Structure 1
Amino acid sequence: MNSKHSYSAADIQVWLVSNLAELIGVETDEIDVHEHLENYGLDSAQAMILVSKLEKMLGFQPSPLLLWHYPNIAALSQRLAEDLPEESAIQDTTTASVNTPVQTLDLNAEVVLDPIIRPDALPPVSITEPKHIFLTGGTGYLGAFIIRELLQQTNADIYCLVRAANPQEGKSKLVKNLETYAIWDEKYQSRIVPVVGDLALPLLGMGAEQFQILAANIDTIYHSGALLNYVFPYSALKAANVLGTQEVLRLASQIKLKPVHYVSSVAVFESPAYAGKVVKEQDDFNHWEGIFLGYSQTKWVAEKLVKLARDRGLPVTIHRPPLISGDSETGICNTHDFINLMVKGCLQMGYFPDVEYMMDMSPVDYVSKAIVYLSMQPSSIGKAFHLQHPQPAPLSTLIKWVQSFGYPVKAIPYEQWQAELINNVSSVDNPLYTLRPFLLERWSDEQLTIPDLYLQARRPHISCQETLQALAGSSIVCPPISSEMFMTYTAYLIQTGFLNVA
């Protein structure tokens, strides 16, 4: 650990502007120190990179939660410039002996849906031929591909919720995100309509009149937006992921009845109560004990809210994807997602953990196509779907593929791999350095790390048979996890400079 230094708020602000600009690939003059950091698309992995670099500069490791409490550069700089006592400033995550208190949060008590959200006697709209679609998450990875499918499979205009100062800035953000994933086409210009708002605010950050106008115009809602962060606790994610879902349900139940197609997660079954059990699409989930990630907790509560709204008469479909991999045809992917950062970090370290873990991630093109197709089938209303890969592959197979591509890596026992991570990964140049809090922090009475909790023996078997049957009438098939697909992903990552040639 470096010795602690003294910096002014101005010094730290200049440093943050420079490093954030470098991290997200923009010029420093495009960074507004009063803008919410999340508005720059800063995900949990990038946030950890920023925190790790701050540790090198300041001489102590700031808590990642500071990015929640002080969500813009100006406020964060001022807070970091304060003279913190050494014992409270340093949060050492370089060892695997972190002792995290067992959670006391009762998720059942969080499942409270506003009683006003009750779509009684509202006129229904067409499920199969919507003219105006409202979508959340349009500046995210999966959201971009859902937009592509909606543009191709419908004639509807897509109204996209986006945090921005004005509609012009909002449109620019949406277009830039679509360009990132090679989706943007000028012919879609008139069909993508920015709706300035915020998922974490009441009425989605709109005025009451604007909210009512939107409720009157929209025919269908796709709710894929969420704050994805593997470090923040439930309390930091609740506003966007839980209360934001409630506001989406409110929108759906006003003026006219609008179906909600909700993107949930297989994380709702993370409780150890389901370990080793087969979980089917329509099975309920009542166990929450042992779900430790704040993000997973919010998805559990949010889906419960959606089901409450369904029971009150709102037409809904629920789509539960696993971890999402790149486009199976182009290899285009989110280079900052957990999978890619882990692979890159292990390649740099020269070691993969030899653990029993099944790769059940599904390609983003399959997930987005399945969501849009299933959502447009009248028989889907009221049902849940699992977008899990039907034929997962063991991690050991991926390691063999990596070795066959010429990368000199070995699989070593997990405890030895952890020791390598603690002792030899000491620079932010390796993505694993930024993931150490996630990989090494211990949870539960058994003092298990998050990777421990995701070992195959502790996970449920997610059945997707009903989903596959529902897709049988389409041409949508989940591509097999193969060396060819992995080569496609690797080629893209090398092309973008994310990975080096073996």
Structure 2
Amino acid sequence: MVDLPDPTIDLDWSGYVGAIHEIFHKNAQSHPDRPCVTETKSQTTPTRTFTYRQISEASNTIANHLHDAGITNGDVVMIFAHRSVELVCAFMGTLAAGATVTVLDPLYPPQRQQIYLEVSQPKALISIGKAVDENGPLAPVVQKYIDEELSLKTQLPNLRLSDAGVLSSGEQDTEDLFASVRAKASSLPDVIVGPDSNPTLSYTSGSEGKPKAVLGRHYGLTRYFPWMAERFNLSSESVFACLSGIAHDPIQRDIMTPLFLGAQLLIPAKEDIQHEKLSEWMNAWSPTVTHLTPAMGQILVGGATAKFPSLKHVFFVGDILTTRDCKVLRKLGPSCAIVNMYGTTETSRAVSYFEIPSAEADPTALDSLGDVVPAGWGMHNVQVLVVSRDDHNKMCGVGEVGELYIRAAGLAEGYLGEPEKNKEKFIENWFVDNAKWVEADKASANGEPWRQYYKGPRDRLYRTGDLGQYLPSGAVQIRGFRIELNEIDANLGGSPLIRDCKTLVRRDRNEEPNLVSYIVPEIAEWKRWLEAQNQEDVEDEGVEMGSSVVYLKRFRRIQAEVRDHLKARLPVYAVPSTYIVLQKLPLNPNGKVDTPALPFPDTTEMMEDASEEDLKSWEALSETEKTVAAQWATLIKGLNEKTIKSESDFFDCGGHSLLAQQLLLNIRKNLGVDITIGVLYANPTLSALSTQIDRLKSGQAPMVDKAAEAVYAKSLDELVNTLDAKYQSADPAALSPSAGATFFLTGATGFLGAYLVQDILSRQNTKLLVHIRGVKDTAAAKERLTRSLKGYALWQDSWADRIDCVLGDLSKPRLGLDDASWKQVADKADVIVHNAAYVHWIARYEQMMRSNVLSTIDAMKLCNEGKPKILSFVSSTSTLDTEHYVNLSDKETATGRGAVLEEDDLQGSRSGLGTGYGQTKWVSEQLVREAGKRGLRGAVIRPGYILGSRHGGVSNTDDFLIRLCKGCVQLKARPRIVNSVNAVPVDHVARVVIAAGLNPLPGVNVVHVTAHPRLRMNEFLSTLSYYGYDVPEVDYEEWKTQLEEFVSAGAVEKDQEQSALMPLFHMATSDLPSTTRAPELDDRNAVAVLKADAERWTGVDDSAGEGITREDIGRYLRFLAETKFMPLPTGRGRELPPIPAGVAEAQAQFGVGGRGGAA
């Protein structure tokens, strides 16, 4: 039996070890002359070693200065940081003053530095002299913010520790800043801290945009050190290497662990922390312990030949650790045990571990592991709980997937200034009554001074947002990080440019495994893409290689597009390095892909010819660019150096992290300059990298664009400044059936738009202004709208006098409205429903920004002119399609508050969105929500799948689920997939959109539209058999094979049958059970607006939500059959439900049913 955690046992809630600065001070008194911190030599400075006495006295000097300046418990002190002994002194001095330390990295762009200042509001600023020496003073915009917006109690502008251990920081009025406190250097200030004092302020990942600030607790800082010392044989004899990023919370572990133990800390020079040199440094200085991120681990081993036999433990934190990286590390450090640790900023320290013995102790230790090292077991008095997603009162058993919670006494306090977020993420343990621990604590209390800063036992769980499962060993495996080939293919197949694909692991000429994707292009989409990019197609009949035809020239540009598509959806290590474009995938007699017949990467090497255009571009390159291009070509398989252009990107050409290390080594050997990995990642194009090389060769330092961010995120930062400083705040109470309401609607002729019109005009005393594009006059506009509504069998003649149309175009300023129309809307509209959008899955953000983003800003400008207006903005769940949110979508984290909360600020999508459409919706959402902070009233509505109406069965034939139904009927089989389907009838979606517009919550809030109840996919598809279609349920793999065979045997022409299958083929030939998973969505705001709508407008309470029933699907099938989209069923089963007379005829007559008219 596996001993799984019991969530009711005592985890020693009052087991406070003490404050780290107090423990360090005692160590300094016990062994003052022991080496404490060593700065190893650099190109410009010698090795410097400082004793415990010297570091303690320097720290105490800072602490007493801060204390005398009025810094007290809870004040934040920000350090302008540098990896140096001064950082250790500033860190410990701040803690000894009772303050909260936070770190500012000089490499952050000024805008990011200012954001950290805004969030943290420090009361003191310490600038380390070396940080200023290397990076210059703070940027003017940052200094201006400090001078004008902060109320600093003190500043230490130039902190330095001399070789003799004398601390200085400049002068004030010609007097030494530390003059008044130097006599106190041997003692701590008279400050008391306790377990719930806040020693640190750390930040969530910068990829989340405006960071969340996490307050640490003194309890958590020292909580696990005694156990770690015993478990991993750490002691005062250990020697630690300081390699973590200076502004990331692992730096706290680098500094505090040795100081707690009385051990020595080694700080390498900046130039030693890069490829090859880091291993040489490790060999020379012989640290026994270090903490690394997996990325830093790759720098340690990349290109390395020097071994480091003294290293005994490497603790990996911060990302996924692969066994491949471990294998290389074990060769260079044979005595080194590898410990994979799992934790987050919110857990204060890593809270679980999985140890891999050293190669000397167990040469086969990696053999039983998969691609990814597990998160392991909870540390001492820490529990990693896997809780059932169906019943939160139940723990999962072995192999059962559930939601991960961390139960520990050392959790962080929470997010600074975000009480609602804290309630969501830091949850009182519902398995046990916390009063039990409170009583036990009272009995053990002994009048300790620190109890004035102790809130008592708090049995809390941190909700990680991850899914996991217990392994048979009792360890926890976090799901979602294993490199699965079918997951890569699933994401490849999601690109409209790809018709078919197959990803394999192939070994190159050096026997190194590489991910290789074989792709078959979708020709029609390729031509549309070329047209959108204003590019010409290339003549290329391909080269026969065995049974395959390989295209070497024609689709060269598709590879960068595909790589970008995957980068937005997969971890970097799961993005293939090589893409081979085939006419079709070879099949074996069983109809499966004939893997042995696929050409090996090396077979296509050196076969790519340079075109005349390529040769002209080659001649225009500088000599440095040509040399660098040649280096790329030697490393990247199949790359002809003369096809590389100035703007070519090393990583887009097939480079990856290990090749990057090799490239830097080759550049050093062949060009005599030392480029760092950071410079390469910041300058990946041939031109930019060559420029940096030329700068170094001429004796200049490289310039790195530290502010490089995704185009759409940068666009947001710019567009925020164009918003009005203040918005009129409309009063929804002024709108009622008696007072009336006038709506302005965009996108009225699309599928959802038609039902929005119906919902608006079905209400008492409402009028409608409709935005119509592409017609010559208002009469034609009204005719177009009328035809659309008649096509959906919605039109009522009584509506005619309540509708006015205005002519416009989303792609033009002010929505394309002329002055008179703009004024008409500004003066008359009470509610703006912005439903229109340019929908395209290939177009880039820049191409869609005008229609989707700027139109939203224009809609908000309308809200601010004339009468005050409420904005109801229809968004899309494509705003969740980043690695962060796609992982949630792949994991269906459900029950309770839901996987994606309505109040989630969506900063997890600030980078990584792969489609221009999703990017525009994300930027628009952010702008609308920002306007809400400035007074705008309204809502952002995010629906799931929008299926047919509840009554008429009218359906959108472009919908994924509708096409899946047709595909199953064509195959005469349906797959067994048990994922839930978040599908909602279109008329309910329309109800929520309008209800949110008439009854908004204060400000701007997100309103999720989610199904209640949800069907599972197998239930949804089983209705086909229920109504007489011959579609027996089969295993997914069998269904997939049938689909592959069907498509392979199908006609090339895009007839109706083919068009139903091809959009499915990308997903279906990879892993539909994974790609169709969806999270539960929090919809409390939706419930609130629907209840208010029932009370104030409709008298019908729709707050319970809507789902799709078997009868609804039957009506959809009846509609689809009567409109000739699908055949009628011929087998035994229930008769399809009737639909209102004339619905199908209306669709045929007026030609609706797809997504047309959305813009």
Aligned residue number for residue 902 of structure 2: 281
Q: How many Å separate the matches in 2 of 1:393 and 1:441?
A: 20
Aligned residue number for residue 1066 of structure 2: 440
Give the secondary structure class of the aligned counterpart of 2:862: helix
Aligned residue number for residue 309 of structure 1: 931
Give the secondary structure class of the aligned counterpart of 2:1007: strand
Q: How many Å separate the matches in 2 of 1:369 and 1:341?
A: 25
Q: Relative to 1, partners in 2 of residues 1:323 and 1:157: Cα closer, same or farther, differing over 3 Å?
A: same
Q: How many Å separate the matches in 2 of 1:169 and 1:135?
A: 17
1:496 aligns with 2:1117: no
Aligned residue number for residue 109 of structure 1: 714
The Cα of 1:106 is off from its aligned counterpart by: 4.3
Determine if contact 2:933/2:1003 at 8 Å carries over to the other structure. no
1:291 aligns with 2:902: no
The Cα of 1:233 is off from its aligned counterpart by: 3.7
Matches within 5 A, 1:414-433: 416=1041, 419-420=1044-1045, 422-426=1047-1051, 427-430=1053-1056, 433=1059
Aligned residue number for residue 802 of structure 2: 191
Q: Relative to 1, partners in 2 of residues 1:355 and 1:213: Cα closer, same or farther, differing over 3 Å?
A: same
1:149 aligns with 2:759: yes
The one-letter code of the counterpart of 2:789 is L
Aligned residue number for residue 76 of structure 1: none
1:85 aligns with 2:691: no
The one-letter code of the counterpart of 1:327 is S
Aligned residue number for residue 12 of structure 1: none
The Cα of 1:225 is off from its aligned counterpart by: 1.0
Residues 109-141 of structure 1: CA deviation (Å, up to 9, x unaligned): 231436453264758463445543211111111
Aligned match for 2:527, one of 51, 63, 69: 63
Q: How many Å separate the matches in 1 of 2:822 and 2:956?
A: 32
Aligned residue number for residue 344 of structure 2: none
Determine if contact 2:872/2:938 at 8 Å carries over to the other structure. yes
Q: Relative to 1, partners in 2 of residues 1:408 and 1:237: Cα closer, same or farther, differing over 3 Å?
A: farther
Give the secondary structure class of the aligned counterpart of 2:1020: helix
Mean Cα displacement is larger for which, 492-501 or 102-111? Answer: 102-111
The Cα of 1:353 is off from its aligned counterpart by: 4.3
Q: How many Å separate the matches in 1 of 2:781 and 2:959?
A: 24
Determine if contact 1:318/1:385 at 8 Å carries over to the other structure. yes
Aligned match for 1:347, one of 969, 977, 1002: 969
1:484 aligns with 2:1111: yes
Mean Cα displacement is larger for which, 428-437 or 280-289? Answer: 428-437
The Cα of 1:380 is off from its aligned counterpart by: 6.0
Q: How many Å separate the matches in 2 of 1:310 and 1:450?
A: 40
Mean Cα displacement is larger for which, 83-92 or 289-298? Answer: 83-92
Aligned residue number for residue 14 of structure 1: none
Aligned residue number for residue 322 of structure 1: 944
The Cα of 1:172 is off from its aligned counterpart by: 1.2
Aligned match for 1:455, one of 1076, 1086, 1094: 1076
Aligned residue number for residue 814 of structure 2: 203
1:475 aligns with 2:1101: yes
Determine if contact 1:356/1:395 at 8 Å carries over to the other structure. yes
The one-letter code of the counterpart of 2:874 is V
The one-letter code of the counterpart of 1:85 is E
Aligned residue number for residue 881 of structure 2: 270
Give the secondary structure class of the aligned counterpart of 2:1029: coil
Q: Relative to 1, partners in 2 of residues 1:237 and 1:287: Cα closer, same or farther, differing over 3 Å?
A: same
Aligned match for 1:464, one of 1070, 1083, 1089: 1083
The Cα of 1:68 is off from its aligned counterpart by: 4.5
Give the secondary structure class of the aligned counterpart of 2:872: strand
Q: How many Å separate the matches in 1 of 2:811 and 2:1001?
A: 32
Q: How many Å separate the matches in 1 of 2:821 and 2:741?
A: 19
The Cα of 1:453 is off from its aligned counterpart by: 6.7
Q: Relative to 1, partners in 2 of residues 1:331 and 1:441: Cα closer, same or farther, differing over 3 Å?
A: closer
Residues 237-272 of structure 1: CA deviation (Å, up to 9, x unaligned): 322222221211121122332111111123322323
Q: Relative to 1, partners in 2 of residues 1:189 and 1:249: Cα closer, same or farther, differing over 3 Å?
A: same
Determine if contact 1:273/1:287 at 8 Å carries over to the other structure. yes
The Cα of 1:60 is off from its aligned counterpart by: 7.4
Aligned match for 1:375, one of 971, 992, 997: 997
Q: How many Å separate the matches in 2 of 1:178 and 1:486?
A: 22
The Cα of 1:390 is off from its aligned counterpart by: 2.5
The Cα of 1:61 is off from its aligned counterpart by: 6.7
The Cα of 1:230 is off from its aligned counterpart by: 3.4
Determine if contact 1:122/1:255 at 8 Å carries over to the other structure. no
1:173 aligns with 2:784: yes
Give the secondary structure class of the aligned counterpart of 2:745: strand
Q: Relative to 1, partners in 2 of residues 1:60 and 1:305: Cα closer, same or farther, differing over 3 Å?
A: closer
Aligned residue number for residue 746 of structure 2: 136
Determine if contact 1:385/1:467 at 8 Å carries over to the other structure. yes
Determine if contact 1:61/1:90 at 8 Å carries over to the other structure. no
Determine if contact 2:727/2:931 at 8 Å carries over to the other structure. no
Residues 436-487 of structure 1: CA deviation (Å, up to 9, x unaligned): 4775389xxxxx979677332xx43312244235434542253442221211
Aligned residue number for residue 42 of structure 1: none
* Structure 1: gaps spanning 5 or more residues: 1-47, 52-58, 71-78, 443-447
Mean Cα displacement is larger for which, 433-442 or 288-297? Answer: 433-442
The one-letter code of the counterpart of 2:1082 is S
Residues 131-172 of structure 1: CA deviation (Å, up to 9, x unaligned): 432111111111111111111114232111111221121111
Give the secondary structure class of the aligned counterpart of 2:1045: helix
1:362 aligns with 2:989: no
Give the secondary structure class of the aligned counterpart of 2:861: helix
Q: Relative to 1, partners in 2 of residues 1:203 and 1:466: Cα closer, same or farther, differing over 3 Å?
A: closer
Spell out structure 1 runs of 4+ moving beyond 6 A.
Answer: 87-90
Greater RCO structure (CA 8 Å; 6+ sep): 1
The Cα of 1:223 is off from its aligned counterpart by: 0.8
Aligned match for 1:249, one of 860, 874, 880: 860
When normalised by structure 1's length, the TM-score is: 0.75
Q: Relative to 1, partners in 2 of residues 1:377 and 1:131: Cα closer, same or farther, differing over 3 Å?
A: closer
The Cα of 1:360 is off from its aligned counterpart by: 1.0
Give the secondary structure class of the aligned counterpart of 1:287: helix
Mean Cα displacement is larger for which, 107-116 or 356-365? Answer: 107-116
Q: Percent identity?
A: 24
Pairwise CA RMSD of aligned residues?
3.7
Determine if contact 2:949/2:955 at 8 Å carries over to the other structure. yes
The one-letter code of the counterpart of 2:747 is G
Q: Relative to 1, partners in 2 of residues 1:144 and 1:315: Cα closer, same or farther, differing over 3 Å?
A: same
Give the secondary structure class of the aligned counterpart of 1:63: helix
The Cα of 1:319 is off from its aligned counterpart by: 1.4
When normalised by structure 2's length, the TM-score is: 0.34
Q: How many Å separate the matches in 2 of 1:403 and 1:297?
A: 39
Q: How many Å separate the matches in 1 of 2:728 and 2:1105?
A: 37
Residues 253-293 of structure 1: CA deviation (Å, up to 9, x unaligned): 22332111111123322323131451122222111244323
The Cα of 1:176 is off from its aligned counterpart by: 0.9
Determine if contact 1:127/1:377 at 8 Å carries over to the other structure. no
Q: How many Å separate the matches in 1 of 2:943 and 2:537?
A: 44
Give the secondary structure class of the aligned counterpart of 1:200: coil
Q: How many Å separate the matches in 2 of 1:438 and 1:65?
A: 20
The Cα of 1:367 is off from its aligned counterpart by: 1.1
Aligned residue number for residue 16 of structure 1: none
